[in-house]
Amino acid sequence: MKTALIACGALAREIVSIVKKHSWPVDVVCIPALLHNRPQRIPPAVQTRISDLRQHYDRLIVVYGDCGTAGRLDKVLADENVERLAGPHCYEMYGEATFAQLMNEEPGTYFLTDYLLRSFDSLVIKGMGLDKHPDLREVYFKNYRRIVYLAQEDDPDLRERAEKAAQKLNLPLEVRQVGYGGLERRLIALMTARD
């Protein structure tokens, strides 16, 4: 059975690692991660990718959380009869119970992942206009009390980037090593469901 994973670009590196680790014969096709800044564009982008790939694959799996689409992504997938990895967003996928615990402790938690740290300046600083209007930091982040970096890799460079990001946002930093967490477990469950 020829399978394609239609994935969020923010998860691409991790998904490719998981696919290689398990030697799955699948293709990974990504949608730009920048769509997270405009979540209303995610469902039509996924639908377009489904239409483009359907004739070439026996099975399509969408590796995305709801990611702010307010259920619109799931409606597209129901209409297209395509399955999706469970979860509201990658923070919950990576952290699972740790994510829930952290949110219960402090709802004002801003989360970072390896991908977000690698793209922090372009996605957060420039993407939110903080490079030109640093005073907006107080508007965007006034209700946050901390940053939690949910680390996929144990990488000193990424930890240093997390520290710099916390300084830029003027928030205390916590680091939790979670690996691929639920992202990997949920992918395994979907990939083995039809074996």
Split at pLDDT 50, 70, 90, the class of 137 is: very high
| CA-based nearest residue to 4, from 32, 30, 34 | 30
- Higher local confidence (pLDDT), 19 or 88: 19
Split at pLDDT 50, 70, 90, the class of 35 is: confident
What residue spans define the domains of the chain? 3-88+182-192, 97-177
* In the predicted structure, residue 61 carries a pLDDT above the cut 60: yes
Report d(CA 69, CA 42) in Å as an integer: 7
What percent of the chain is modeled with pLDDT above 90?
Answer: 87
Do residues 67 and 76 lie in contact, with contact meaning Cβ atoms separated by under 8 Å? no
* In the predicted structure, residue 195 carries a pLDDT above the cut 60: no
Give the domain 3-88+182-192 fold.
Rossmann fold (3.40.50)
Averaged pLDDT for residues 32-58: 92
Q: Which residue(s) pair with 174 in the sheet? A: 148
Averaged pLDDT for residues 54-81: 94
What percent of the chain is modeled with pLDDT above 70?
Answer: 99
Averaged pLDDT for residues 16-21: 96
* In the predicted structure, residue 154 carries a pLDDT above the cut 70: yes
